[in-house]
Amino acid sequence: MSVQEDGGHRGTEIAARTERRWATISVIIIVAMALLAAFAGIHRATMPQPRVETTDPSRLHLSGEFAESNLGSVLEANGAVTVRAIGQQYSFTPACIVVPAETPITLRATSADVVHGILVQGTNINTMLVPGYISEQLMRFEKTGDYLMPCQEFCSFGHEGMWGKVRVIDQAKFAELAKSGGRLSCVGQ
């Protein structure tokens, strides 16, 4: 065997060993990632979620937080606003939500029947309304005006006709309207 041939043989052997080593490392990485994903998934599935609020969709209108008379916007003592709304095939109640500009707003909403969604056009406000669960979403509007609020989750044949609206009005005007102490919506403005 010539020196050259021997060198070539050894080179092939080194290349094969290096390839095997890297193949082993990549298999170890894949197995480690799969184990990590399995652990994270199982761990999460066995832990209670940090915060879940439930409600009985069959009794929504009758009593409790989402009774008909409690839906709409309310000015809290600390100056913040809470909006309560429900979605049902195929509308939102209130159909037009009224809120003040430059104010922290908490939207609390749920569904009376199937899964719906609330999305406010031109903002990052986007949440699902799941029957049996309360969705809470923080929002704030800097400018007054009307914003479209379509249902963003397919909820059967009338889905494309399910639209609501958010009307952002002047802070002082909202405070004036809120003096009555009732639940506000766009109705009567």
Question: By C-beta, is 88 or 178 nearer to ligand CUA?
Answer: 88
Provide φ and ψ at 21, rounded to 5°.
Answer: -65, -45
Helices (H), the chain: 3-46, 171-178
Residues 60-99 that bind ligand CUA (CB under 6 A): 87, 90
Q: Which of 105, 125, 139, 162 contacts ligand CUA by CB under 6 A?
A: 162
Pair type for strands 126-129 and 116-119? antiparallel
Query: Rounded to the nearest 10 degrees, how much is the dihedral formed by the CA atoms of 87, 96, 125, 50?
Result: -40
Question: How many residues form the binding site for ligand CUA (CB under 6 A)?
Answer: 9
Q: Which of 60, 149, 151, 169 contacts ligand CUA by CB under 6 A?
A: 151
Question: By C-beta, is 130 or 169 nearer to ligand CUA?
Answer: 130
Question: By C-beta, is 98 or 109 nearer to ligand CUA?
Answer: 109
Cβ atoms of 129 and 181 within 8 Å: the answer is no
* Residues at the interface with ligand CUA (CB under 6 A): 87, 90, 116, 151, 153-155, 159, 162
